[in-house]
Amino acid sequence: MRVMLAMSGGVDSSVAGALLLAQGHDVVGVTMRLWGGSSDTGCCSVSDVDDARRVAQQLGLDHHVFNFGDGFTAHVVEPYVAAHATGVTPNPCIECNRHLKFDALLERAAVLGFDAVATGHHARIEQREGRFRLCRGADPDKDQSYVVHMLDQSAMARTLFPVGDITKARVREMALDLGLRTATKPDSQDVCFITSDGGRRAFLGDRIPLRSAAVRDLDGNTVGSVDAVELVTIGQRRGLTLSGAPSRRFVLDVDVPRGEVTVGSAEDLLREREHVEQVVWTSSPSAGDVLVQCSAHGEPQRATIRPGGASIEVVWAEPQRRVAPGQSAVFYSLANDEVLGGGRVRR
């Protein structure tokens, strides 16, 4: 099989290349140049491109760099900024996977005559009953099925996850045995276009006005203020300077147009249901009892999902903390580790 390997410059995609070669595939490495601005974190720095190129040399692979900067700006950066401007909490890594790694790259691979695209994600694709099934990776601590939940049947038919069946510890062992330069490289942790020195405030402040807002309790009393309402998210506790009762208070709601943030207790944050829109199913639409995960490393919670017109209603088995609008809710089967689908939590 002729495989295009997406090489991020990390250890997972490096070992994925070695595994593909061992399986006898014809492999070509590619690195996507996504962000042209400052980057010292995440997976878009100049050093990451250099690491990918050098690992490709070690493995004997041809290596190419694709410039997808315009698409990254249009589908990831601009929506990220727009979301903050309206009080929504975006998930840029998922949108990067959706639009670049599993849309643009698959399209480019097909044009160039490749049979499949491979990445270093810790997830698995199985075939059962004539359908492709997206499943959790073998390493529960490194599982990345949440961030690739948008894959449908067409995408899964042309996608390979070579390291999905092994643990991260084993990945590093293999990299060390092969002498790969990425063997001990730390995992990427942050949004690639947000620098460690300036953070979100500097990035967003260069692109949209950051406005102060009053912080009120549920009775409408003003208990404090924030200097940038666009940086506040549902569930936040830290970074709030509040007067009044000493008990911990959490952000319950963010109203950017009115310049108001509402806070309350942990109990006030609990909800019985959420609504999820723009849902993508991995196989076919589902309903009934499932597990729902609302962050990359969050604890899945039991819920019932029901069709609700343009959205899916998620009814929690037990009340859960409100999920910030814009975050992804991913549905998993109760019977196994299969991803059923997912979408964005609605305001």
Catalytic residues: 96, 192
- Give every CB contact of residue 338 below 8 A, 6+ residues apart in sequence: 133, 134, 135, 282, 332
**SS3 letters for 275-294?**
EEEEEEECCCCCCEEEEEEC
Torsion of CA 102, 298, 325, 263, to 10 degrees: -160
Give phi and psi for 13, each to the nearest 5: -70, -25
